[in-house]
Structure 1
């Protein structure tokens, strides 16, 4: 069994508390050997550190760091449901970027999540991905990320 929690410690990263859902859903669901997370916003201590559209008031580098926080929040949801050390591999990342008109750098923004997952899981963090620009996200968040992971 992998020791992903120790890897987080090595990276100097602490799993946050699971973000409370903002509507009628649960943070993560397991079916068979897969866990699907709900879309995770970049909450830090229950608040959004930044809000607004990327390519507008939020620059791409800031949004990239917010996507990393989203991925960390998704890992917290997985840990609460099945334990992070049960993860076999990251299967897919879906990232949504609240995009100002003309902004086309969604893949670079969602790299914040993808690169973080690579740091944590190494080869087991290599995944399929979608990076989608949207008009608005809940609560004015600049990014939202959901994960699908295989577990044992």
Structure 2
């Protein structure tokens, strides 16, 4: 299963400049998914992070991983309509490599607990075959 940006915008409330996932592929509802973010020099955060040496902020990579997890969670529950996925926690975050303009970020998330209102994920972000960020994420699916 794969979803494009239009479907992502139906599932998540995020909008530019905070929508950080361009598409989600390899979705196995309730289990796993891979988000894709094409990082371009046009990203607003590059103006200040850092002038002359553009680096995608690690916290935004974590947010992109969380958005990928949110899309997968929303597609996993028939009762998800009208609900929002809220980011609750981050554990063990590690930033291993710099992400910059021209990179294609792949956020791979795997459910470690799900199906109810609280979900947990193991998340990793890659550029090519290189692991750039990893973390354990917790989210809550709640009513709007």
TM-score w.r.t. length of structure 2: 0.37
Q: Which has the higher strand share?
A: 2
TM-score w.r.t. length of structure 1: 0.36
Relative contact order, higher structure (CA 8 A, sep 6+): 1
